[in-house]
Structure 1
Amino acid sequence: MAYFQDVSSRVAFWEARRACEMDGGALLSIESLDEQRDIEHLLQEMRTGSVGGSSISDGDFWIGLRRVDTPTHTNPEPISNTLSSCPDLYQWTDNSPATFRNWYFDEPSCGGEACVVMYHQPTALPGLGGAYLYQWNDDRCNMKHNFICKYEPESHLVKEHGDRPEGGATGMLLVYIIIPTIPLLLLILVASGTCCFQMLSRSSPRTKTAVTQSALWISNTPKVDSMEV
């Protein structure tokens, strides 16, 4: 799971899809109620901080479901369709069977909203969105959200991370990435380099001065006349 504490760092649907594919995975597809419950359980654990070491707050997650009349990220405007056929036009980006759905009761709304998020606003009151929790909602593809990737068991990420989450969905590994730590590491690296540069800059003149003073002392030392001795 890629979760961004900084809201401005969240990504559009096509960026999320590309990020998953670059790691050899795909945006999450959910093909049964059991898999849906597995994801909900993992999100609940992450919210309490029992997975990943820190809790997550409000923020919806892109999953790999989109309306097929939206061709590509270069042309995100959906082609016209009738409301009656709209729900049947949604397919998984990895071409897996698209039979299970967990829509909120009045979704999909269709129109200009063609990509799907799993709603995750746990602090919302029931009358203001709390009832949506973990259900699906279609949204504009250029909106910025967190996202969930899935990986095959033989994926290098699965081998590197070892244990799969307890109750994890079959055939996938969900990876929790803490993005906000990257700027901190870069700041520490820059600060360390600056300190080293300043130390070297200060030490160089001192060495040169010491050598100059030594040379002056030698040149001013009286010479001994061997004839007088």
Structure 2
Amino acid sequence: MKLSLCSSFLLLPHSTAADLVLRAGQTVCRGGTQRPCYKIIYFHDALRRISFEEAHQACRIDGGHLVSIESESEQRLIEKLIESLLASDGDFWIGLRRKEEDVDNSTECQGLYSWSDGSTSKFRNWYTDEPSCGREICVVMYHQPSAPAGVGGSYMFQWNDDRCNMKNNFICKYSLEKPTAASEENSQVDVVTGSLKPAFPEERIKEDANETLKEPREPVLSLVYILIPSIPLLLLLMVITAIFCFWLFAKRQVA
């Protein structure tokens, strides 16, 4: 699988959830152009990381969804993108979760999870003894390179259910499907892609002033266009008047 890795992720040390989508960087697509495409959003400052719902909304506004991982090959692809970050500890939200009404305190809740983008994929990559069920209903991909290995090995890229209000990094996916309604609405004011340039008040004032100046110019230009062809005739009249005046002056001198 060929990928374009240029600008595949962005380190965001000083971003907030509010301006996240506006600064989320470029996408990585298969073959450079083919979908699905991905964004790996990593916050170096752990205090800037966000909840599952905030991440879900950020991806939707940007025209995608939290990532659905539908095969082992796609899992390995995501791992390579994250490894490219050379980042420190920090798990990543993916788009897998249970509905709150499906809360189950047993350990047999694996079949209750679904993908937020509607994918029906049954592929799972749980860490040993996960999911733990209970109140932990949203899913992260582990990324804890400095943590000691557990019973299932190092905590790297396996999945774990977690509380949805925990603060993490996240991964967006942009599929072949039509963008969501939320993304279509956002495209009208999206300043990231540069597709629409916002009209600031001062710019609008300048435009109005320019239009106001154009209005008086048009009659002036029209008058000029009328006068230019008349210049030879005016010159002739001036010459005749000068000759006539000179003739009258000369006649008076003789008399």
Normalising TM by the smaller chain, what interval? 0.5 to 0.7
Partners of 1:82 and 1:130 in 2: how far apart? 25
In 1, the alpha carbon distance for the partners of 2:96 and 2:103 equals: 18
Secondary structure of 1:126's counterpart equals coil
Question: Greater share of strand residues, 1 or 2?
Answer: 2
Whether 2:117 is the aligned partner of 1:86: answer no
1:67 and 2:98 matched: yes
Cα distance in 1 for partners of 2:153, 2:108 equals 29
Conserved? CA contact 1:123–1:130, under 8 Å: no
Deviations 1:156-197 (A, max 9, x none): 9xxxxxxxxxxxxxxxxxxxxxxxxxxxxxxxxxxxxxxxxx
CA spacing shift, 1:139–1:38, aligned 2, 3 Å? same
Gaps of 5+ in 2: 1-39, 180-255
How far residue 89 of structure 1 moved from its aligned partner, in angstroms, is: 0.4
1:50 paired residue number: none
The number of equivalent residue pairs is 140
Are positions 1:132 and 2:171 aligned together?
Answer: no
Q: Secondary structure of 1:134's match?
A: strand
Structure with larger RCO (C-alpha < 8 A, sep 6+): 1
- CA-based RMSD of the aligned residues comes to 2.3
Counterpart contact for 1:10–1:144, Cα < 8 Å: yes
Q: Identify if the C-alpha distance between structure 1 residues 30 and 80 changes in structure 2 by more than 3 Å, giving closer, same or farther.
A: closer
Q: Structure 1 residues 85 and 140 mapped into 2: Cα distance closer, same or farther (>3 Å)?
A: same
> Which runs of 5 or more structure 1 residues have no equivalent in the other structure?
48-55, 71-77, 157-229
Shift of 1:135: 0.1
Q: What's the TM-score, normalizing by structure 2?
A: 0.51
Residue of structure 1 equivalent to 2:58 = 19
State the distance in 2 between where 1:124 and 1:151 align: 31
Q: Are 2:140 and 1:109 equivalent residues in the alignment?
A: no
- Alignment identity in percent? 59
Shift of the alpha carbon at 1:13? 0.3
Write the mapping of 1:186-205 to structure 2, written as runs, cut at 5 A.
none
Larger Rg: 2
